[in-house]
Structure 1
Amino acid sequence: MAQKRVLILGANGLLGTVLTKDLAASRKFEIFTHSHSTQADFGHDLSKYKSVCELLLSVKSDFCLNLLALTDVNLCESEKEKAHRLNVLPIQNIVKCVLKNNLELKLIQISTDHVYDQTLALETDVKIVNNYALSKFIGDEISQLMNAVVLRTNFFGASQSSKASFSDWIIQSLMADKDINGFGDVYFSPLHLSTLCAEIERVILNFQPGVYNLGSRSGLSKYEFIVELRKHKKISTGHVFETKYADANIPIPRPLDMRMDVSKFEKAFKTQLPTLLQEIYKC
């Protein structure tokens, strides 16, 4: 069987660096990378339609994985045009090029749990509380105009890029004997990077268009996550203090409960996702 051609947009980011290596190591795919870094195969400006079409028509990939995103919540709020340029325009241009040229390209759009704010949210339980969530949701909606899978997710694990992950920051801070505050009233259900990459490969091999929540089967508060990670890594330095979101005086609102119902994904792709505690033990 011929290798599937996979184009990875945002290949040098936190997820992209690990995913590119994992997919290449599987030897099932021919990988093409896009990033503004010189280390990637391509560096096209994805905010421009002509540039996007040039990229897609030249690579002729079977799959396009869009990992590109502006995830800084504060920056998305203060620079709405930049958020639109990075979180919306690339998808808009991909869809336009695919439809106009009748390409048989399948899109996998990596989205966010930030579009939810209730316990065990279904894919339809969208609640937008800031511009980051809005820009990602608009991208999700546009992607559905073509043959696409949207994966709403969150992740942690050892970074292989220049950017530290949430778990990296926790471990590094505690090992430097720094104290950490963790919200006891903010909940999430992320996956370890290794699990997320394996599930993305599963999606490529068993492609079924739609919007899916992809996270752990049970979540924790941010405080509980930090405590469990500290315990698992046997770190004795630093202290963890439980705080409340309302006491933090954060100017840009964030959702308080991003735990997701992942049953739709499990059923569609015939798998059982792990609990968050199981994922922490992979660190």
Structure 2
Amino acid sequence: MTRGLKLQTEDYFLTDKQAVRVAERHPQPDFPLHHHDFEELVIVWRGNGLHLWNDVPYRITRGDLFYVSANDRHSYESVNDLELDNILFVRDRLTLPTDWHNLLPGADVPQSQRYWCLGSAGMDTLRDKVDDLAQECMKSDTLSLQLSEVLLLQIALLALRYRHLPDSPQLADAHQLDLLMLALRASIGSPFRFDAFCQQHDFSVRGLGARFKQETGMSVAQYLRQLRLCKAMELLRYDRLTIGEVAAQCGFDDSNYFSVVFHQAQGISPSAYRQRFLAG
């Protein structure tokens, strides 16, 4: 199976003593299939796209959290205003006497247990620590190396505290934006009325709509369409449903309209997109 590009530790870490780096991707462009000999904690801050991780597609959005192990294969495609931080680390170089195995789950942990989501409170708290680490890891003196590792420990602990399972209806820090994200994820294949959602939760349509656009760069309708198109790409890539069945599962009543929307977004028809992957 194709492994793609290999990213080398020496190209990202300042010295052979450094254990932690932050690779800021603001924005994250499309990036081809690759793997690396270090590990990373990926935190998505805004936007959306398709994260193909060990041949499993994930429709990534604001608040998604991934523990990516060395030699995992992954890529980013069909990105839309995607911003994320990759916290890179070399496990063998970590020196703090703590339970790194449980705090930063590795390849021995099933992939489904290395994908989580963060609510708004967790994101706000982690953002400050990641920003501090991004500054500290640019220095290679002994004290900075130690401080960087301490900050990684704080980030790992906070991620453990604030993370929740994807699509979980239970949020420890329930917030208007978090509830809306969950509702949109659950509405990929069914109708969604933003005004009815706001009325149900007693939210301001204008206020929440403005906050949503600030965080994602898109309106609620545009964002939901991107989620649906990402789901369509997943189905076209891995399932043998008809184009009409794919359209229906992705919230499009009219398969012809779905084909038009898909072509506008991807520059290729759904059937031509599927054909790319039939050879395998």
TM-score, normalised with respect to structure 2: 0.30
Which is helix-richer, 1 or 2? Answer: 2
When Rg is computed on C-alpha atoms for both structures, the one with the higher figure is: 2
The structure where strand makes up a greater share of residues is 2
Greater relative contact order, per chain length (Cα 8 Å cut-off, separation 6+): 1
